[in-house]
């Protein structure tokens, strides 16, 4: 439903103009017909819980009193849709303020960032005291009124309030999850909120505030392996790193117990004994906070410390930050489906880092592997599981590369290239393994009975290990079997390139960058494959697609060598 200027809602409010729109619905500036008071009216998108169920929620919101919260004045239904009326607060969103700073190449000072975040935490604390979880704290729901005061209007005073409290509780949970997770705003949501049924906790809101705090200080949100704030800006105390790490811990139980605890910790950032040395530079070489990017590769010279391994790790992290920041993936595009191929996922076009990292020395990776380099990739589809690509099934092994190619073609697909396989493994976070940056045999553990070959299949259930999944949602890339790719060997063009690693082997063989070369006509129990498909759903030029049968047979496995 779209409202226009002059529309009257519930015989109480006259619409003036639209203020903005988000996943929860549009917000309008309106005027009360009873007293001409200006208000903000949020028309909830999609199905809501209904007026009766919304009543106790709104009453709790009204009981959460804090100068840092936008008060709720009224609520009701209009043509079957729930609306919520709040006090009108003349302000811009924190998102716009952040974007303004980025455009002007300005950085928020530590004091500015802390003042904003503490105010948001005060609002969140009031909500929690009233038994409410916001679930949608982001720069767009933080409103900032800025005004210039003092001689020559040289000083800026900001009033900050948090809006949107209670909105998530009156929306249908499934509608909210679909609306929010498929937007860039999802990066502010705690991992546990990915499930539509998740109600969230106090720690879910603190995670969101932690992401905002990091972005205020570093000019970007933390993704994957992120640089600590004091690594990005040397004018920040080390204690700020701890605040961020605790606030955005992956496990909710590792975060602050309450908003008040986080406020107290932030205040410690201003104690005399925790301030940075006066002689430290105000900027980190290679990065201008607030909008510019880290020069790819150049930061290695800056991190040339006494410990070469530490220097290499810093350089690797810096390169990741640069590439991750450049790629803002459209979640809607990523949700593209290949018609007739339900167990495939789409990986959008973008840049990524291929090869071994600088810190992966001879103990971790072979020096003969190509050193990490930035590459561009077009969009493509990849099987979520090893062939026959069936969750709960068993991967087919002991096949030649020709057999693997034929099986893919039978399903109107093709073998993946080595780059496609590796990018799917590293995920958007550019991890070392399909599940993260640290080797863990448990992450890609085996089913009871071990990975034994039974009738040409790997006796391990596909997708059985939830942690053995990359950021793109592709399973068993750092576990299960080695997999044929379409690439030819570099040392011997007659050989084929294998990617991946059978679980139970070392940390080296299960890295995403790991590859091996083998005679394509010599299969064994440790070699399987999965299929890919071009963005347009077609096979490469020259390939002869076959009509995909409803239940294609697996390639016949030869006798074990």
The answer to whether the CB of 61 falls within 8 A of the CB of 134 is: no
Examine the domain organization and report whether 316 and 372 are in the same domain: no
Distances (CA, A) of 264 to 184, 244, 365: 30, 14, 44
Q: What's the domain range around 76?
A: 8-87
Question: What pLDDT shows up at residue 272?
Answer: 41
What CATH number has the domain bearing residue 360? 3.90.1580.10
Q: Which residues pair with 161 in a beta bridge?
A: 143
Q: Which residues pair with 383 in a beta bridge?
A: 344
Question: What pLDDT shows up at residue 461?
Answer: 77
Closest CA to 69 of 87, 54, 43: 87
The mean pLDDT of the chain is 77
The radius of gyration of the chain from alpha carbons, rounded to an integer in Å, stands at 27
Q: Transcribe 233-255 into DSSP letters.
A: -TTS-HHHHHHHHHHT-SSGGGS
Domain-embedded: residue 542: no
Distances (CA, A) of 69 to 28, 162, 209, 216, 222: 18, 5, 15, 20, 26
Domain-embedded: residue 152: yes
- C-alpha to C-alpha distance for 528 and 522, rounded to whole angstroms: 12
- Over residues 55-83, mean pLDDT: 82
Confidence of residue 560 (pLDDT cuts 50, 70, 90): very low
Quick one: CA torsion of 220, 225, 231, 232, rounded to 10 degrees?
-20
Examine the domain organization and report whether 142 and 277 are in the same domain: yes
Query: DSSP character for 276?
Result: P
Question: What pLDDT shows up at residue 186?
Answer: 78
Domain-embedded: residue 399: yes
Closest CA to 255 of 221, 208, 212, 217: 208
Question: What pLDDT shows up at residue 486?
Answer: 94
Question: What pLDDT shows up at residue 293?
Answer: 30
Distances (CA, A) of 164 to 13, 58, 185, 238, 413: 19, 11, 14, 33, 46
Q: Which residues pair with 159 in a beta bridge?
A: 145
- CA angle (82 as vertex; 81, 85 as ends), nearest 5: 135
Residues 463-476, buried b or exposed e (16+ Cβ, 10 A)?
Answer: bbbeebbbbbebbb
Quick check: helix, strand or coil at residue 302?
helix
Examine the domain organization and report whether 83 and 98 are in the same domain: no
Helix (H) or strand (E) holding 325: helix 308-326
Examine the domain organization and report whether 301 and 399 are in the same domain: no
Quick one: CA torsion of 48, 51, 56, 60, rounded to 10 degrees?
70
Domain-embedded: residue 330: no
Examine the domain organization and report whether 306 and 359 are in the same domain: no
Range in 77-91, 204-218, 438-452, 517-531 the model is least confident about: 438-452
- C-alpha to C-alpha distance for 363 and 254, rounded to whole angstroms: 32
Question: What pLDDT shows up at residue 295?
Answer: 28
The answer to whether the CB of 89 falls within 8 A of the CB of 99 is: no
For residue 242, how far is the Cα from the chain centroid? 21
Examine the domain organization and report whether 356 and 249 are in the same domain: no
Q: Transcribe 341-379 into DSSP letters.
A: BTTEEEE-SEEEEESB-TT--TTTS-TTSPBPEEEEE--
- Tokens linked to 224: 């994957």
Domain-embedded: residue 240: yes
Domain-embedded: residue 558: no
Question: What pLDDT shows up at residue 489?
Answer: 82
- The backbone torsions φ and ψ at residue 67, rounded to the nearest 5 degrees and listed phi first, read -65, -15
Confidence of residue 238 (pLDDT cuts 50, 70, 90): confident
Domain-embedded: residue 3: no
Q: pTM above 0.75?
A: no
Examine the domain organization and report whether 432 and 508 are in the same domain: yes
Question: What pLDDT shows up at residue 413?
Answer: 94
Strands, E, within 58-102: which ranges? 72-78, 81-87, 92-93
Closest CA to 82 of 94, 72, 92: 72
Examine the domain organization and report whether 443 and 528 are in the same domain: yes
Confidence of residue 507 (pLDDT cuts 50, 70, 90): confident
- Give the position of tokens 């105010």: 119
Domain-embedded: residue 47: yes
Question: What pLDDT shows up at residue 191?
Answer: 86
Strands, E, within 467-537: which ranges? 482-488, 496-499, 515-518, 527-528, 531-534
- Over residues 413-422, mean pLDDT: 95
Per residue in 533-545, pLDDT (tens digit) is: 998 744 333 333 3
- C-alpha to C-alpha distance for 532 and 380, rounded to whole angstroms: 7
Q: Is the pLDDT of residue 28 over 80?
A: yes
Query: DSSP character for 120?
Result: H
Instruction: Identify which has the larger pLDDT, 186 or 362.
Output: 186
Q: Is the pLDDT of residue 193 over 60?
A: yes
Residue 448's CB is within 10 A of a number of other CB atoms, namely 5
- C-alpha to C-alpha distance for 103 and 432, rounded to whole angstroms: 33
Examine the domain organization and report whether 245 and 162 are in the same domain: yes
Q: Is the pLDDT of residue 172 over 90?
A: no
- C-alpha to C-alpha distance for 510 and 459, rounded to whole angstroms: 18
The answer to whether the CB of 122 falls within 8 A of the CB of 114 is: no
Per residue in 326-344, pLDDT (tens digit) is: 776 655 555 677 788 889 9
Domain end marker among 62, 87, 112:
87
Question: What pLDDT shows up at residue 279?
Answer: 32
Domain end marker among 55, 87, 119:
87
Query: DSSP character for 116?
Result: H
- Over residues 508-531, mean pLDDT: 86
Instruction: Identify which has the larger pLDDT, 297 or 107.
Output: 107
- Over residues 372-379, mean pLDDT: 90
Whether the bond between 388 and the residue before it is cis, its omega within 30 degrees of 0, is yes
Domain end marker among 275, 290, 325:
325
Question: What pLDDT shows up at residue 309?
Answer: 63
Bridging pattern class, strands 92-93 and 81-87: unpaired
Q: Is the pLDDT of residue 202 over 90?
A: yes
Helix (H) or strand (E) holding 178: helix 173-181
For residue 454, how far is the Cα from the chain centroid? 38
Examine the domain organization and report whether 375 and 423 are in the same domain: yes
Share of the chain above pLDDT 90, in %: 28
Per residue in 445-499, pLDDT (tens digit) is: 654 444 444 444 455 678 878 888 888 889 988 877 889 999 988 767 788 999 9
Query: DSSP character for 17?
Result: E
Whether the bond between 400 and the residue before it is cis, its omega within 30 degrees of 0, is no
- C-alpha to C-alpha distance for 365 and 368, rounded to whole angstroms: 8
Confidence of residue 241 (pLDDT cuts 50, 70, 90): very high
Question: What pLDDT shows up at residue 400?
Answer: 93
For residue 74, how far is the Cα from the chain centroid? 35
Examine the domain organization and report whether 74 and 105 are in the same domain: no
Number of domains in the chain: 3
- Tokens linked to 149: 């005061």
What CATH number has the domain bearing residue 34? 3.30.200.20
Question: What pLDDT shows up at residue 425?
Answer: 93
Round to the nearest angstrom and report the end-to-end CA distance of the chain: 67
Question: What pLDDT shows up at residue 370?
Answer: 80
The answer to whether the CB of 401 falls within 8 A of the CB of 524 is: no
Examine the domain organization and report whether 349 and 399 are in the same domain: yes
What CATH number has the domain bearing residue 221? 1.10.510.10
Q: Is the pLDDT of residue 380 over 70?
A: yes
Per residue in 261-309, pLDDT (tens digit) is: 999 999 876 654 444 433 323 222 222 222 223 323 333 333 333 356 6
């Amino acid at each position: 439903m779209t409202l226009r200027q002059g529309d009257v809602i519930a015989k109480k409010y006259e619409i003036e103009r639209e203020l903005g729109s988000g996943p929860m619905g549009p917000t309008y500036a309106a005027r009360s017909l009873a007293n001409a008071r200006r208000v903000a009216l949020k028309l909830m998108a999609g199905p809501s819980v209904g007026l009766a169920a919304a009543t106790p929620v709104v009453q709790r919101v009204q009981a959460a009193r804090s100068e840092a919260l936008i008060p709720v004045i009224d609520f009701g239904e209009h043509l079957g849709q729930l609306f919520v009326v709040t006090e009108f607060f003349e302000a811009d969103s924190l998102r716009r303020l952040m974007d303004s700073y980025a455009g002007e190449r300005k950085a928020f000072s530590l004091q500015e960032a802390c003042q904003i975040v503490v105010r948001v935490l005060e609002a969140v604390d009031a909500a929690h005291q009233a038994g409410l979880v916001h679930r949608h704290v982001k720069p767009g729901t933080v409103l900032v009124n800025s005004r210039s005061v003092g001689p020559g209007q040289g000083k800026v005073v900001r009033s900050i309030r948090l809006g949107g409290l209670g909105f998530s509780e009156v929306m249908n949970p499934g509608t909210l999850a679909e609306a929010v997770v498929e937007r860039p705003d999802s990066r502010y949501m705690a991992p546990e909120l990915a499930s539509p049924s998740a109600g969230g906790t106090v720690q879910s809101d603190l995670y969101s505030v932690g992401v905002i705090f990091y972005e205020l200080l570093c000019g970007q949100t933390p993704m994957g392996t992120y640089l600590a704030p004091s690594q990005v800006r040397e004018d920040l105390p080390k204690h700020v790193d701890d605040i961020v790490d605790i606030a955005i811990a992956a496990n909710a139980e590792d975060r602050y117990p309450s908003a008040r605890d986080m406020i107290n910790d932030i205040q410690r950032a201003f104690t005399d004994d925790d301030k940075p040395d006066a002689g430290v530079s105000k900027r980190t070489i290679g990065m201008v906070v607030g909008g510019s990017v880290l020069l790819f590769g150049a930061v290695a010279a800056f991190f040339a410390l006494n410990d070469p391994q530490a220097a290499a790790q810093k350089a690797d992290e810096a390169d990741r930050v640069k590439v991750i920041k450049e790629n803002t993936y459209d979640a809607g595009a990523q949700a593209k489906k290949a018609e007739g191929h339900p167990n495939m996922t789409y990986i959008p076009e973008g840049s990524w880092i291929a090869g071994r990292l600088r810190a992966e020395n001879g103990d971790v990776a072979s020096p003969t592997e190509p050193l990490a380099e930035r590459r561009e990739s077009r969009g493509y589809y990849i099987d979520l599981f090893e062939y026959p690509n069936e969750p709960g099934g068993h991967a087919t092994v002991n096949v030649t590369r020709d057999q693997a190619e034929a099986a893919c073609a039978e399903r109107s697909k093709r073998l993946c290239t080595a780059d496609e396989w590796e990018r799917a493994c590293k995920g958007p976070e550019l991890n070392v393994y399909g599940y993260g940056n640290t080797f863990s045999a448990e992450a890609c553990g085996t089913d009871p009975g071990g990975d034994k070959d039974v009738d040409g299949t790997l006796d391990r259930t596909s997708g059985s290990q939830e942690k053995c999944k990359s950021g793109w949602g592709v399973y068993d890339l750092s576990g299960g079997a080695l997999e044929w790719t379409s690439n030819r060997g570099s040392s011997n063009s007659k050989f084929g390139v294998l990617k991946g690693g059978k679980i139970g082997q070392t940390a080296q063989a299960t890295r995403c960058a790991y590859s091996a070369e083998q005679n394509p006509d010599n299969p064994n129990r440790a070699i399987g494959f999965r299929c890919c498909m071009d963005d347009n759903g077609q096979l490469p030029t020259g390939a002869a697609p076959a009509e995909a049968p409803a239940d294609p047979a697996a390639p016949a496995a030869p006798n074990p060598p």
